[in-house]
Amino acid sequence: MKKLKIKRKYIFLGDIDSINIELIIKSFNFLKNKVNYILICNKKDIAKSVYVKRSNIKINEILDPLNFTNYNRNNLNIFNIDNISKKKYINLLNQIVISNNIANSTEFDLITMPINKFLFKRKIKFIGMTEYLGNLNKSPTQMLMYGEKFSIIPMTTHINLKNISKYINSKYINSFLKNLLNNIKKPNYSLNFKNIKFLCYNPHCSEEGTLGNEDTFIKKAINKHRIIDGPYAGDSAFAKIKKNTLFISTYHDQALIPFKILNKKSINITLGLKYRRLSPAHGTAKEIKEKNQADNTSYLACMLI
C-alpha cells in the first residue's frame, strides 16, 4: 500500500492576546504525526507564552519555510518574523504579508488564527482578512463558512446594514455567482455541494413585490445558473437541511447566525486565492485566555481538512 504524503501547512499565529497559542499547544501531540506545519510569528512573542513554558515543547526555528528544511515534528517549528515596529498592528500586518507571500510560493494551505480587527480599524481601512488578502493579491475573494452540517457564503460581508441594498443588482449578483461557481470547482478546495440555495433579501421573498424588487434581481440571476435554487425565505430555509448544502445569503448575519448555532465544527475558507486560506470560525476569545477553556474543534478541522 502506498504511504500517503503528509500535508504541509502554514499557520499565521495572529493575535497573542487570545486563545491562539492555547489551541496550538493543546493540539500539538495529536497533530504532530498527521500534518507538518510551520508557525509564522515572532519567536520572542510565542516563547513568553505560559502554555509553551508549561508544555516543555522545544522551539525549532525554520530558516527555509518553502522547503521545510530542518523540520522537526517533535518541536514547535517556527519561522521567525522580527518585529519592525512598537505598534502591534504594523507587526501583524507585516506577518500577514509574509505569510501570504510564502503560501503563494508553495500553494500550501495557510491557516490564519484569529485577530482583533479593532487593532487595525483604528489605524487603517481594514474590513476583514478575506478582503485584505483579496486586496493583497488583487483578486476578488469570497468568504465561505464550511460546517459539518451545512455551509454558507454571504454575498456581502462586513458592511453597514443600510448599504447592503446597493449590491442587490443584476451586475453584482451575476459576477458574484460566476466567481463562486468557478471557485468551488477548483480541485484544491475539495468542495462537493449537492445543493446550492440562494436566500431572499426581503422578508418572505418580498411578498410578491410589495416589499421591494430586490428579490426579482436575485431570481433572474439564479435562472442563469441551473445548479442554484431559490430564492428561499430566510426565516424557514434552515428548518430542513440536506447534507452538502450551501446557502448563499445576501448579507452576513442572515446566514451566520444559524450557521454558528447549528455547526460545532466550522472553518472560514477564503475563495479566490492561489492557495487555501483557512481560519477557525471564532474570534480571539481573550476573555478566556490562559483559563484552559478553549475548544480546539474548529482549529483541528482547519488542520485536518
Domain count, the chain: 2
Question: For 84-104, what is each residue's pLDDT tens digit?
Answer: 999 999 999 999 999 999 999
Asked whether residue 44 falls in the same domain as residue 160, the answer is no
Please give the C-alpha separations between residue 43 and each of 188, 261, 271, in angstroms, as whole numbers: 31, 36, 30
Asked whether residue 3 falls in the same domain as residue 125, the answer is yes
Using CA atoms, how far apart are residues 287 and 17, in angstroms rounded to an integer? 9
Q: Name the grid cell of 23.
A: 489551541
Asked whether residue 114 falls in the same domain as residue 158, the answer is no
Query: Phi/psi at 266 (nearest 5 deg)?
Result: -145, 145
Spans in the chain with pLDDT lower than 50: 1-2
Asked whether residue 35 falls in the same domain as residue 1, the answer is yes
Q: What angle do CA 288, 290, 293 make, to 5 degrees?
A: 55
Radius of gyration over alpha carbons of the chain, in Å?
A: 20
Please give the C-alpha separations between residue 275 and each of 41, 51, 55, 67, 73, in angstroms, as whole numbers: 19, 30, 32, 16, 23
Asked whether residue 188 falls in the same domain as residue 73, the answer is no
Q: Are 195 and 208 in contact (CB under 8 A)?
A: no
Asked whether residue 258 falls in the same domain as residue 278, the answer is no
Asked whether residue 105 falls in the same domain as residue 69, the answer is yes
pLDDT at 209: 80
pLDDT at 4: 57
Domain end (from 262, 282, 297): 262
pLDDT at 1: 43
Domain residue limits at 244: 149-262
Please give the C-alpha separations between residue 220 and each of 98, 170, 204, 216, in angstroms, as whole numbers: 42, 8, 17, 6
pLDDT at 212: 84
Smallest CA-to-CA distance from 142 within 130, 151, 133 is with 130
> What is the pTM (predicted TM-score) of this model?
0.91
Using CA atoms, how far apart are residues 186 and 61, in angstroms rounded to an integer? 34
CATH code of 186's domain: 3.40.718.10
